[in-house]
Chains A and B, each alone.
Chain A
């Protein structure tokens, strides 16, 4: 039997993807946001222990075999461009995450990432909402993380005891015991966005718990809140944005904590991006957002599985 060589996405789907990209590029041009490119291969990567980079181990000319990573997002080189004074920029690129395969996941996917000097996460949420409108999607509602979480569970995600979260997670079908607070919140939150996908189709969540700050600034509130937002459409996580941290000491600490967790979980440590850390104190005050374009195309076309919107979804097995 011959190998199955045919594209999976329909011709109509290919055209809708091209039309989506055309709208995005016009939107960015109208706002004088510059399209840029950065390297896909790098000797350093994001150490975030929940994201596994794809490692390329090709022999080099001098015989050494230093691992090289495929980018998990173009965030670090784009931040170095911003520190260099490039002004507002965007990029449409392929990113790679090892071990992610499912109805909403592929190890290789398309990302739109853009940065806005002079904006905070609230301003960038407005701009993401404008882009959705330009694409013919609904205007997104807004909820704080605490408001959304409390409405569903009756618990305050910032202050309630971790064992209450554990008990609730068990009640909602989680079999794994002894997860840390961040992982429990991840389980509970993704479970509630899935269950509510029919009632509230399109919304932003903002003001994340500080333990989920990732690369966002932490606001000087009580409790401290991460200047981070996410966009959900039809129960899918579509975009993640930050008021970007530009304190290199704090960033190094977070990277080191990430690598520490990697060690604890038996994951390989990742070489830190010293070039990013060297640039970070010069990063202008800015907000940035990464948006999954394949999932966005699913929203536009009503596809239920990411395979439907990809030309060759199964190339990486």
Chain B
């Protein structure tokens, strides 16, 4: 099995920790002048997204994680699993709700997503930074009240709820920043 020595630690390296694949965010060499050397690392658990701080004695070996980020197209959700396809090889992948996480609320089909594979299976999904989605339901707009800066909730075709300005109406298509979950503007104005 592939492994890395602490000497090879750097940000972005994927290692196994407590049976989960993790990515090193930061690696610091710590050593008292007359004492044992350590590597203190900040790591993200790629399954849970949690960030941890851990320390290894320098020179230790740690199992490598077989982790790969690839671009896949989202196809459909069968009620349980989310199906994706590699547009070059036509190979299909299935991700469960835990892997899809929050990204799911922005996907309706055909979006290009960054999918993290661990031992060949999806463990996390990143939606495109911007998506265009139609409003399926929001309270009637208050015409003329465009300057007050007030907002109201709007439900999108995927079920996600975002805050929108009061003048936005049902049926309009919005541009959403999936990293913040915020309304950017109306599609027709972009």
Complex interface residues of chain A between 171 and 199 (CB less than 8 A to chain B): 172-176, 179, 182-183, 186-187, 189-191, 194
B54 and A175 contact, CB distance less than 8 A: yes
Enumerate chain B residues within 8 angstroms of A186, measured Cβ to Cβ.
32, 35-36, 38
| Alpha-carbon distance A212/B28, docked complex (angstroms) | 23
Q: Assess the A179–B29 pair: CB atoms within 8 A.
A: no
A50-B36, A190-B38 known; A105 vs B29 contact (CB < 8 Å) = yes
Determine which of A105, A172, A214 lies in contact with B31 in the assembled complex, contact meaning CB atoms within 8 Å.
A105
A292→B57 CA distance, assembly (Å): 23
Q: A100-B29, A101-B29, A102-B30 are in contact. Are A174 and B55 (CB under 8 A)?
A: yes
Q: Give the shortest distance, in Å, between A48 (CB) and chain B (any CB).
A: 6
Q: How far is the CB of B13 from chain A (nearest CB, A)?
A: 15
A237 at the interface (CB under 8 A from B): yes
User: Given A172, A183, A189, which contacts B57 in the complex, CB threshold below 8 Å?
Assistant: A183
Q: Does A103 contact B (CB under 8 A)?
A: yes
Show the binding face of B for A, using Cβ within 8 Å.
7, 17, 28-38, 40, 52-57, 60
List 10 extra interface pairs beyond A183-B35, A214-B34, CB under 8 A: A48-B34, A51-B33, A102-B29, A102-B30, A105-B31, A173-B40, A187-B38, A194-B30, A237-B32, A237-B33
Please give, as numbers and ranges, the residues of chain A lying within 8 Å of B31 by CB-CB distance: 50, 100, 102, 105, 190
In order of increasing CB-CB distance, the 8 nearest A-B pairs are A102-B29, A186-B35, A183-B36, A176-B57, A186-B36, A214-B34, A174-B55, A173-B54
CB of A50 within 8 A of CB of B34, answer: yes
Contacts A103-B29, A105-B29, A186-B32 given; indicate if A50 touches B37 (C-beta within 8 A).
Answer: yes
The main secondary structure of chain B at its interface with chain A is strand
For the complex, count residues of A whose C-beta is within 8 A of B: 30
- Inter-chain contact A187/B55, CB cutoff 8 Å: yes
**A212 to B32 alpha-carbon distance, docked (Å):** 11
Query: A149-189, CB under 8 A of B: which get 1 and which 0?
Result: 00000000000000000000000111110010011001101
Does A240 sit within 8 A of B, measured CB to CB?
yes
Residues in B neighbouring A103, C-beta threshold 8 A: 28-29
Q: Which residues of B contact A191 (CB under 8 A)?
A: 55
Q: Which residues of B contact A102 (CB under 8 A)?
A: 28-31
Residues of B within 8 A of A104 (CB): 29
B54–A51 touching, CB < 8 Å: no
- Which chain A residue lies CB-closest to B29? A102
A175 and B56 contact, Cβ closer than 8 Å, known pairs A101-B29, A102-B28, A102-B29: yes
B30: chain A residues at CB < 8 Å are: 102, 190, 194
State how many angstroms separate the Cβ of A75 from the closest Cβ of chain B.
Answer: 11
Name 15 A/B residue pairs within 8 A (Cβ), A-sorted: A50-B34, A99-B37, A102-B29, A172-B55, A173-B40, A173-B53, A174-B38, A175-B56, A176-B60, A187-B36, A187-B38, A191-B55, A194-B30, A212-B35, A237-B32
**Residues of B contacting A175 in the complex (Cβ-Cβ under 8 angstroms):** 17, 54-56
A292 to B33, CA, bound (A): 10
Would B29 and A182 count as touching, CB distance under 8 A? no
> Cβ of B34: which chain A residues have Cβ within 8 Å of it?
48, 50-51, 212, 214, 240
How many Å from the CB of B6 to the closest CB on chain A?
10
Q: Determine the residue in chain B with the shortest Cβ distance to A290.
A: B33
Report if A176-B29 is in contact (Cβ < 8 Å); known contacts: A50-B37, A186-B36. no
Would A190 and B29 count as touching, CB distance under 8 A?
no
Residues of B within 8 A of A172 (CB): 55
Residues of chain A within 8 A of B7, CB atoms compared: 99
Please measure, in the bound complex, the distance between the C-alpha atom of A189 and the C-alpha atom of B34, giving whole angstroms.
12
| Cα A189 to Cα B36 with chains together (Å) | 11
What 0/1 readout, one digit per residue, does chain A (272-315) give for beta carbons within 8 Å of chain B? 00000000000000000010100000000000000000000000
Min C-beta distance of A257 to chain B, whole Å: 14
A292 to B37, CA, bound (A): 17
A100 near B56 (CB under 8 angstroms)?
Answer: no
How far is it, in angstroms, between the C-alpha of A48 and the C-alpha of B37 when the chains are bound? 13
Question: Which residues of chain B come closer than 8 Å to A187, judged between CB atoms?
Answer: 36, 38, 55
Cα A201 to Cα B38 with chains together (Å): 23
Quote the shortest CB–CB distance from B42 to chain A (angstroms): 10
Expressed in whole angstroms, the minimum distance between the Cβ of B38 and any Cβ of chain A is 6
**B55 engages A240 (CB within 8 Å):** no
Query: How close is B33's CB to chain A, nearest CB, in angstroms?
Result: 5
B60 proximity list for chain A (CB < 8 A): 176
The CA of A103 and the CA of B31, in the complex, are separated in Å by: 11
User: Within 8 Å CB of B17, what residues of A?
Assistant: 175
